[in-house]
Chain A
Amino acid sequence: MIQVNGDGMEWQDGLTVRGVLVYRNFRFPLLIITVNGELIQPKAYDTTLVPDEAEVQVIHLMSGG
């Protein structure tokens, strides 16, 4: 189990940051993502593995009119 913005999410072997985004349907392009406090650059979303029990923050920047 991992925490994504404070919500629980089932962990599975090989889970990447991209996998978290897809699972949560986080489609907004302006994101700041940390895994256990470490900032993940967008180019590393596909390759960064998320360990079990990780705390993932997916901060959506503001938008709207």
Chain B
Amino acid sequence: MTQFVFDPTKVMDIDFTKRTEYLEGLEAIKAAHKVLKEITFTPSLPDKGYNNRSLYVNVGTLEVKEKPVTQQMKDVFIGGRGFGLWHLWNAVKPTTRWNDPENEIIISPGPVAGITQYAGTGKSLVVSLSPQTDIPIDSNVGGYFGPLLKFSGFDALEIQGKSECDVIVFIDGQKGIIRIEEAPQDPVDSHVLAEVLTHMYAENQADMVNISVVCTGAAAEHSLVGMLNFSWWDLRRGCIRLKQAGRGGIGTVFRNKKIRAIVCRGPQVKGDLNHVADFETIAKTGIKYHKEIRTNDPYQCMMRRNGTAHIVEIMDAYDLLPTHNFQYGSHPDTHKIDSAYWQSRCTQKTVDGCWYGCSMACAKGADGLVVKTGPYKGHTVTVDGPEYENAAGLGSNCGVFDPDYLLELNFYCDTYGICTITYGTLCAFVMECYQRGILNKERTGGLDMTWGNAEDDLEMMHQMARGEGFGVIAGQGVKKMKELFIKNGWGDPQLINDIGMENKGLEYSQYLSKESLAQQGGYALTNKGPQHDEAWLIFMDMVNKQLPTFEAKAEALYYFPLFRTWFGLNGFCKLPWNDVVPSNNAQQPEAHKIPEHVQNYVDIFSATTGIKIDKDELIHQSAKVYNFQRVFNIRMGKGLRKDDHAPFRSLGPVTSEEYLSRQERYDKQIAEEMKLDPTAMTLEEKMAAHRSWRQGRYEQLTDAVYKRRGWTPNGVPTLERLKELGLDVFPEVVDVVKLHL
């Protein structure tokens, strides 16, 4: 192990309080606001984690009303992503598409969200019909909005309709007021807008921490890959910070509804606003965990110093860091963007974290970045991160190893409202198409998309924000770019399909899955598309060899997606589960599940809600929502086996360069796994053998996974499975399934 030791002398001396301010036109912006609708409500605090009501706002009709959260909703859907999916199911029809008025954006934090005694409890789950996939997307996000919404009196916020003018929805949980305001002069980009609105709606300096803004940026208006920023006020820095609900284009839906921002002003956060059933157990569990972080984190992942970027060099060492559009898994220049660099570049003399009480505190701020390009050229800004996904996606996967440019790409993604994971993968695809002559300067409108050309990479992003040029094409995402390039006859269709890293229309996140069959399934045998938050099995499968059979892989692809779904039902962050472990973890049975932490979650849920569960019931809770989401996908015309197809780049080597770069490995597999003689085969024959073998294994895995999940060979949950889960009480759910049995 080559754990970097924190050396304070290596941290750059950057003034973390200095940055460009955007408050000059605040009064004029405020004066231009016009109230379109105002209602009053009675603020309330949750009882045992629930308020038992949600808030419905239609920005088209201006209808605002409270809706009850029923016992059935709580029993079946728990909260968070579950509530989002249930509201969305009831709002849309099978024919509804992302830009129809009936599509909704639902934000729900979950019953545990907002407790301040345990790490990682500030998450909101955002659900909508995705413009990229045409099925429900769920995206989890930190920042204060979800907990403040809940402490204002609502377990979920449903936004429906389409406005004719730019609007802001303001929820004042202190005064009990909800307003829809026309906002004709508000800034567009998130780092400016969130700052302006935080100052506008806070009544004084001390009130700033009670404000959270949900907003996006200019690129969300011209692309399908828009994301949502959730803000919080960083008291020590004296500025707003942003966390992102990135995946699936929810920011695009947001702007299509002409929403400029949603602002919540909650009450001052205190220790037990959830009014939990058993505070003592939560406090005791939290103290035990905080002590574990303090003692073990400096010797384990150093999350408090590095955040998730601690794995950049680790992924490189295991040949898993996506490089040049997932062609390779490592690069000689990775040291320029590894955790040692980010540790020195991110401010270390202030405490970070995106919700109160999170001792893991992995949110990091890179202060003092002077922007070199675009509309904010010359401005001094604070950038959140970069997290691992950003360093890998915007960095190595596009061949960008200049950390200042990487930070600038991260900054513009955030403020323009672009998902960093999606942008990294779509830009890497563009660059490989450029490398292989599928694209050229004529087709890109003059952009030189050579690997590592950060200036033209940034220009493509600026075009996306301006709604101009090739940036508009790139902003449609990999799936639609593939269709366009093939339609235009710009290259071999099979090659274009092989190297375009999307499944269901969503771009892959930033791990190389070629040598882990289980992770290939962890990406493509998913509900929303290839995001690693369902399952990350690469080490178990590829390195530890703990999953030697299809059945063992299928069991992992049963358990972990359900276990991780549960975080999103409750408002938990996944990171405190497994980015630190107890000192005695190695001696525990099923150590890879971190059993002590699983028990912590069981205890905290029980202590919050008063509903006693165990680790098996935890999985059962998730299984209801997971299978409901699968049926929802089928209802929307997808969710079948054909939709779980994976691009070949995720399964194995597409090109001769890829094969030759790891020839020893691939030849060995031909000899040992396929029982063929590689010395008697041409390169083309060897590549064809790999394609056949790898695709065959993926199909066998799919069979095993569907069987373990209680699905038909076409990926449809059986009626027996629905009955086991209690989903047969919903006739519409049963009707959807019956059509496919």
Known: A5-B545, A25-B317. A61 touches B591 (CB 8 A): yes
A29 interfacial by beta-carbon distance below 8 Å: yes
Q: In the complex, how many angstroms separate the beta carbon of B411 from the nearest chain A beta carbon?
A: 21
A27 and B592 within 8 A (CB): no
A15 to B292, CA, bound (A): 32
B546 and A59 within 8 A (CB): yes
B549 interfacial by beta-carbon distance below 8 Å: no
Q: Which B residues lie at the A interface, using CB under 8 A?
A: 1-3, 299-301, 308, 311, 313-314, 317-318, 388-389, 509, 511, 532-533, 536-540, 543-546, 574, 578-579, 581, 585-587, 591-592, 594
A26 to B314, CA, bound (A): 8
- Neighbour of A61 across the interface among B1, B311, B532, B578, CB < 8 A: B578
Known: A5-B545, A6-B545, A28-B314. A59 touches B3 (CB 8 A): no
B1 and A65 within 8 A (CB): no
A32 to B313, CA, bound (A): 20
- Neighbour of B544 across the interface among A42, A58, A64, A65, CB < 8 A: A58
For A59, the chain B residues whose CB sits under 8 A away are 544, 546, 591-592
Which 3 pairs from chain A and chain B are nearest by CB? A64-B536, A60-B539, A32-B586
A59 to B593, CA, bound (A): 12
Q: A64-B536, A65-B532 are in contact. List 17 more A-B contacts (CB 8 A).
A: A5-B544, A27-B317, A27-B318, A28-B539, A30-B300, A32-B591, A39-B587, A59-B592, A60-B543, A60-B544, A61-B591, A61-B592, A63-B301, A64-B311, A64-B538, A65-B388, A65-B536
Q: In the complex, how many angstroms separate the beta carbon of A64 from the nearest chain B beta carbon?
A: 3
A49 interfacial by beta-carbon distance below 8 Å: no
Q: Which of A39-57 contact B (CB under 8 A)?
A: 39, 42, 57
B592 and A62 within 8 A (CB): yes
Q: In the complex, how many angstroms separate the beta carbon of A55 from the nearest chain B beta carbon?
A: 12
- Neighbour of B3 across the interface among A5, A6, A29, A39, CB < 8 A: A29
Known: A62-B578, A65-B388, A65-B574. A30 touches B301 (CB 8 A): yes
B581 and A61 within 8 A (CB): yes
Closest to A41 in B: B586
A2 interfacial by beta-carbon distance below 8 Å: no
B536 and A62 within 8 A (CB): yes
Closest to A33 in B: B586
Q: Which of A1-29 contact B (CB under 8 A)?
A: 5-6, 21, 25-29
Q: In the complex, how many angstroms separate the beta carbon of B22 from the nearest chain A beta carbon?
A: 31
Q: In the complex, how many angstroms separate the beta carbon of B444 from the nearest chain A beta carbon?
A: 31
B317 and A61 within 8 A (CB): no
Q: In the complex, how many angstroms separate the beta carbon of A10 from the nearest chain B beta carbon?
A: 16
Known: A29-B300, A29-B301. A61 touches B594 (CB 8 A): yes
Q: In the complex, how many angstroms separate the beta carbon of A61 from the nearest chain B beta carbon?
A: 6
A62 and B586 within 8 A (CB): no
A31 interfacial by beta-carbon distance below 8 Å: yes
A31 and B1 within 8 A (CB): yes
B586 and A39 within 8 A (CB): yes
Q: In the complex, how many angstroms separate the beta carbon of B80 from the nearest chain A beta carbon?
A: 17
For A62, the chain B residues whose CB sits under 8 A away are 536-537, 539-540, 578, 592
A65 and B545 within 8 A (CB): no
A5 to B547, CA, bound (A): 12
Closest to B588 in A: A32
For B539, the chain A residues whose CB sits under 8 A away are 28, 60-63
For A58, the chain B residues whose CB sits under 8 A away are 543-544
B301 and A65 within 8 A (CB): no
- Neighbour of B581 across the interface among A5, A27, A30, A64, CB < 8 A: A30
For B532, the chain A residues whose CB sits under 8 A away are 64-65
Q: In the complex, how many angstroms separate the beta carbon of A12 from the nearest chain B beta carbon?
A: 21
Closest to A65 in B: B532
For A65, the chain B residues whose CB sits under 8 A away are 308, 388-389, 509, 532-533, 536, 574
A29 and B1 within 8 A (CB): yes
Contacts A/B (CB < 8 Å), 23 sampled: A27-B313, A27-B314, A29-B1, A29-B301, A31-B1, A32-B585, A32-B591, A42-B299, A58-B543, A59-B592, A61-B585, A61-B592, A62-B537, A62-B592, A63-B311, A63-B314, A63-B579, A64-B311, A64-B511, A65-B308, A65-B509, A65-B533, A65-B536
A27 and B1 within 8 A (CB): yes
Q: In the complex, how many angstroms separate the beta carbon of B714 from the nearest chain A beta carbon?
A: 29
Closest to B546 in A: A59
Q: In the complex, how many angstroms separate the beta carbon of B34 from the nearest chain A beta carbon?
A: 42
Closest to A45 in B: B1
Q: In the complex, how many angstroms separate the beta carbon of A41 from the nearest chain B beta carbon?
A: 8
Q: In the complex, how many angstroms separate the beta carbon of B14 from the nearest chain A beta carbon?
A: 27
For B509, the chain A residues whose CB sits under 8 A away are 65
Q: In the complex, how many angstroms separate the beta carbon of B362 from the nearest chain A beta carbon?
A: 11
Q: In the complex, how many angstroms separate the beta carbon of A26 from the nearest chain B beta carbon?
A: 7
A36 to B433, CA, bound (A): 50
Q: In the complex, how many angstroms separate the beta carbon of B363 from the nearest chain A beta carbon?
A: 14
A42 to B585, CA, bound (A): 12
Q: In the complex, how many angstroms separate the beta carbon of A17 from the nearest chain B beta carbon?
A: 11
A14 to B88, CA, bound (A): 63
For B389, the chain A residues whose CB sits under 8 A away are 65
A38 to B1, CA, bound (A): 20
- In this complex, the member of B536, B543, B586 whose beta carbon has the largest number of chain A beta carbons within 10 angstroms is B586
A60 to B543, CA, bound (A): 7
Q: In the complex, how many angstroms separate the beta carbon of A45 from the nearest chain B beta carbon?
A: 8
Q: In the complex, how many angstroms separate the beta carbon of B221 from the nearest chain A beta carbon?
A: 28
A31 to B533, CA, bound (A): 21
For B317, the chain A residues whose CB sits under 8 A away are 25, 27
A54 to B592, CA, bound (A): 23
A5 to B300, CA, bound (A): 22
A61 to B296, CA, bound (A): 15
For A42, the chain B residues whose CB sits under 8 A away are 299
Closest to A34 in B: B586
A63 to B592, CA, bound (A): 10
Q: In the complex, how many angstroms separate the beta carbon of B348 from the nearest chain A beta carbon?
A: 19
For B300, the chain A residues whose CB sits under 8 A away are 29-30
A57 to B592, CA, bound (A): 13
- In this complex, the member of A25, A26, A29 whose beta carbon has the largest number of chain B beta carbons within 10 angstroms is A29
Q: In the complex, how many angstroms separate the beta carbon of B243 from the nearest chain A beta carbon?
A: 14
For A32, the chain B residues whose CB sits under 8 A away are 585-586, 591
A28 to B544, CA, bound (A): 12
Closest to B556 in A: A62
Closest to B540 in A: A62
Q: In the complex, how many angstroms separate the beta carbon of B320 from the nearest chain A beta carbon?
A: 9
Q: In the complex, how many angstroms separate the beta carbon of A25 from the nearest chain B beta carbon?
A: 5
A45 to B356, CA, bound (A): 37
Closest to A42 in B: B299
A27 and B2 within 8 A (CB): yes
- In this complex, the member of B314, B317, B539 whose beta carbon has the largest number of chain A beta carbons within 10 angstroms is B539
A57 to B591, CA, bound (A): 13
A10 to B552, CA, bound (A): 29
- In this complex, the member of A5, A31, A63 whose beta carbon has the largest number of chain B beta carbons within 10 angstroms is A63
A25 to B313, CA, bound (A): 11
For A21, the chain B residues whose CB sits under 8 A away are 1
